[in-house]
């Protein structure tokens, strides 16, 4: 699979997770499980932090582009 296809799939997953998270947040506020938005802004910081950490863990190791790729044998 090409890098473009992988990035496209990853973007779709991230978008879905964001929409799901926003929906769950508003559901929780509606059900009074968490306080109103003016009091629960730290919740958003926690969610963004978790999303960044999970995104880095799922992306796998990064290749160093300064070195040439290893030779391929046929």
pLDDT recorded at residue 44: 77
For residue 61, is pLDDT > 70?
Answer: no
**pLDDT tens profile 23-53:** 888 888 889 888 787 777 777 788 788 888 8
Q: Which residues contact 45 (CB under 8 A, 6 or more apart)?
A: none
pLDDT recorded at residue 54: 82
**Which has more pLDDT, 8 or 54?**
54
C-alpha to C-alpha distance for 31 and 11, rounded to whole angstroms: 30
Q: Residues 40, 34: contact at Cβ < 8 Å?
A: yes
For residue 1, is pLDDT > 60?
Answer: no
Q: Distance between alpha carbon 70 and the CA centroid of its chain, in Å?
A: 31
Cα-Cα-Cα-Cα torsion 52, 55, 60, 64, nearest 10 degrees, comes to -50
For the chain, domain boundaries? 3-47
């Amino acid at each position: 699979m090409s890098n473009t296809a992988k990035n496209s799939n990853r973007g779709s997953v991230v978008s879905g997770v964001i929409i799901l998270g926003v929906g769950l947040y508003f559901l929780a506020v509606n059900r009074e499980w968490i306080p109103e938005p003016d009091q629960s802004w730290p919740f958003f910081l926690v969610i963004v932090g978790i999303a960044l950490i999970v995104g880095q863990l799922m992306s796998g190791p990064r290749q160093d582009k300064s070195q040439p790729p290893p030779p391929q044998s046929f």
